[in-house]
Amino acid sequence: MTIVLFAAGAERWQEYEAPLRAALAEAGVAADLVQGAPPETVDFIVYAPGSPLQDFTPYGHCKAVLNLWAGVERIVGNATLTQPLCRMVDPGLSEGMTEYVLGHVVRHHLGMDRYILGAPGWEQTVPPLARERRVGMLGLGALGLTCIRALQGLNFDVAGWSRTAKPGLDFPAFHGEAGLEAVLSRSEIVVTLLPRTAETENLLDARRLGWLPHGAVIINPGRGALIDDAALLVALGAGRIGHATLDVFRVEPLPHDHPFRHHPKVTVTPHIAANTRATTAARVVAENVRRALAGEPLLYLVDRARGY
C-alpha cells in the first residue's frame, strides 16, 4: 500500500480529503491517504507552504513532494528537501487567472472606473479598439501563455517577455534586459506573471517603471515582490503610472495602514486571482503519484537552480 502523507495544513484536510481519495482511485493507485505516519513509511508528501512540516530529513523513502500551490519560493530553498519537488499546474487555477487578467485588462482598456465610480458630466471618451491597445505580458510560462491566448482572442496587441528565449511563438516575444525594455516601452497595460526568484525580485524598480509609457497601467497577480513598492508609489504620485491593480503583496493580508490600501490609483484585491481548486488539483497530484510508481517522468518538476 502506497502511503501519501497530507502535510498541507489541517485546515485544508476537509477540503482535499475526498477529492484526493477519489482522484487516486481513479488513477488506479492503491494508496492510504493519511495526516500522520512514521516518516520512514511515507511514499509521497502532499504539501503547501506554511505547513508544520519543515524538516524533510526523516522522509528518506519519500519519492516526491507534491506542492498544492503554483509558487514554490517558500519551500524550494529548504536545505532538508532533497526529494523531487513538483509545483502545481492546475487547470482550474489557469482558468481563474485568465478570467482575472482578462477582466482587469478590459476594465482598464475601456476606462470603466470613471463610469463605475460616477464621473460627473457627459464626457464621451471613446476608447480605442482592442487591436489598438498594446498589452505586455511579463512571464511566458503556462499561466502567461494561457492569458495571452485569451487576450489575442479579443484582438489585443500583445507582446511578451521571459528571462530566457521562447522561440516559435506567434506574437512578439522578448527576453533579457534589452527585451524587457522593448516590451515595457510599448505596453500601455502590463501584466506580471513571473515566479519570485532572486532574478525577478524588484524586477519593476524605479528605472524600469520609467520605461513604461506615461500613464500606463500595471496589473500584478503574480508575486508581490516583483514590484518595488516604494518606486511604484512614487511613479503613481507623479502620474507616470496611471493605475496599479494588485492582487499579491510582500505581506499578506496587506496591512490596513499600507499606502496601497488608501491610494486613489491603486486597486487592491485579496489574493483571489487564482486559487488551487481541490477537485482539479487532486487529479494533478494523483497523476504524479501514478507516474512516480510507474517510473515515468513527473509533471511540473521544479528546477532547483532556477527556483521554479
Helices (H), the chain: 10-26, 91-110, 113-116, 142-153, 176-186, 206-209, 229-237, 259-262, 278-294
For residue 126, what are the contacts with CB-CB under 8 A and spacing of at least 6? none
Helical axes 91-110 vs 142-153, angle rounded to 10°? 50
Question: CB of 40 within 8 A of CB of 244?
Answer: no
CA-CA distance, 147 to 102, in Å (whole number)? 7
CA-CA distance, 217 to 36, in Å (whole number)? 47
Residue located via cell numbers 477540503: 15
C-alpha cell at 223: 508575486
CA-CA distance, 24 to 293, in Å (whole number)? 12
CA-CA distance, 135 to 104, in Å (whole number)? 12
Give the CA diameter of the chain. 71
Report cis status (omega within 30 of 0) of the bond before 120. no
Active site residues: 223, 271
